[in-house]
């Protein structure tokens, strides 16, 4: 009888073990149900149309697509860290994520400017192609590796405006002596044209223009510029945005924080960033069309095109500035070679496709 009890016990134990194994195989691992609560700092005013709203959409989509496993709290520029110190905060691990523009960090990483915008450079379609398929993203991530951050493509505004001016620009001479808010390589180009370059965050542009601390400022385009009230601080609105033809926005993730995530959440971040990249561009295309109509109807705003001689000189200075940058920075030289190779390859096709179609549509 004792032997029968022993055998029965062994069988029961074996059955329980088999059930446990089956249950383990059919239920999610502890790793796949682990939750994360992250913080994201940005350079943007809270609720700014297009950019600010797009960043909040990014955070919301991360939470939804991860089924609540990755929650991200968004902080506006200056709310947790200064608006122009986002990359530093992510690099140090103060926060896990940041959203801003790469060219804000030209002092620390001069070559990063290629990953926002290059004067007379790539449009949004060309920039996406170069980054996703032309090796640009790989170069970007290699450039940022020493700072312990991983960059992602996370938005674009399309071709911007040349900016708001409190005086008419009829010739190159009219640029000399102006104090202008303009970051990146575009700011260096304007400096060569006699402009004093100033870089202030979005939240300070209106007051600086209104008080005369600035004579001119570029921000984005009609959609965002109206949101900041810039049309109430300067009269002359110039185009085209020669300095930012396809300005890319970046999401940066602290590498140590990234390594704590399971593979599926890492994939979700990459996928959501691509979705936001498309969505933000669509939002700006829609919003700019509506906002431009409003500005054209405003008697206090004059929409002007920059004179050809001004654009030609700015293009000349742009090439000089880029050549100087690549001559003094090995990373810039490497990235510029890749950037230019693709742009030179893309131009002939766009001349018979996008450009040819737009010209035909305007006949």
Q: Where are the domains of the chain?
A: 33-159+246-286, 163-244+299-351
Answer whether 0.85 is exceeded by the pTM: yes
Distance CA 152, CA 253 (A): 8
pLDDT of amino acid 289: 98
Give me the pLDDT at residue 266, please: 98
**C-beta of residue 288 within 8 angstroms of C-beta of residue 223:** yes
Same fold? 33-159+246-286, 163-244+299-351: yes
- 16: which residues sit within 8 A by CB, 6+ positions away? none
What pLDDT score was predicted for residue 33? 85
Question: pLDDT at position 103, please?
Answer: 96
Q: Does domain 163-244+299-351 have CATH number 3.40.190.10?
A: yes
Q: Identify the CA nearest to 73 among candidates 42, 37, 101, 48.
A: 37
Question: Which of 299, 295, 297, 281 is CA-nearest to residue 226?
Answer: 295
In the prediction, which pLDDT does 29 show? 59
Q: Which architecture characterizes domain 33-159+246-286 according to CATH?
A: 3-Layer(aba) Sandwich (3.40)
pLDDT value of residue 28:
54
Residue ranges of the chain with per-residue pLDDT less than 50: 1-4, 6-26
């Amino acid at each position: 009888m004792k032997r029968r009890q022993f055998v029965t016990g062994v069988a029961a134990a074996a059955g329980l073990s088999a059930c446990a194994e089956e249950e383990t195989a059919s239920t999610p691992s502890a790793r796949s149900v682990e939750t994360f609560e992250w913080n994201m700092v940005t350079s943007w005013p809270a609720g700014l149309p297009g950019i600010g709203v797009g960043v909040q959409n990014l955070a919301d989509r991360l939470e939804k697509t991860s089924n609540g496993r990755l929650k991200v709290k968004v902080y506006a520029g200056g709310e947790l860290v200064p608006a122009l110190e986002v990359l530093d905060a992510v690099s140090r691990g103060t926060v896990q994520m940041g959203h801003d523009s790469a060219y804000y960090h030209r002092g620390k990483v001069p070559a990063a400017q290629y990953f926002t915008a290059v004067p007379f450079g790539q449009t949004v379609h060309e920039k996406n192609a170069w980054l996703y398929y032309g090796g640009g993203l790989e170069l970007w991530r290699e450039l940022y590796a020493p700072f312990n951050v991983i960059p992602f493509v996370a938005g674009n505004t399309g071709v911007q405006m040349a900016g708001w001016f409190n005086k008419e620009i009829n010739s190159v001479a009219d640029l000399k002596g102006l104090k202008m808010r303009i970051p990146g390589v575009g700011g260096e180009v304007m400096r060569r044209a006699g402009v004093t370059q100033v870089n202030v965050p979005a939240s300070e542009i209106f007051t600086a223009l209104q008080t005369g601390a600035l004579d001119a400022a570029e921000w984005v385009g009609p959609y965002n510029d109206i949101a900041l009230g810039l049309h109430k601080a300067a009269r002359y609105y110039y185009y085209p945005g020669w300095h930012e033809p396809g300005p890319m926005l970046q999401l940066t993730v602290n590498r140590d924080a990234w390594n704590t995530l399971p593979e599926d959440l890492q994939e979700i971040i990459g996928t959501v960033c691509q979705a936001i990249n498309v969505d933000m561009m669509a939002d700006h295309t829609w919003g700019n069309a509506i906002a431009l109509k409003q500005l054209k109807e405003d008697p206090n705003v004059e929409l002007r095109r920059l004179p050809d001689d001004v654009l030609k000189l700015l293009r000349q200075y742009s090439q000089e500035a880029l050549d100087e940058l690549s001559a003094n920075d090995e990373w810039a030289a490497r990235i510029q070679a890749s950037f230019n190779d693709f742009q030179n390859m893309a131009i002939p096709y766009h001349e018979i496709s996008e450009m040819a179609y737009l010209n035909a549509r305007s006949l």
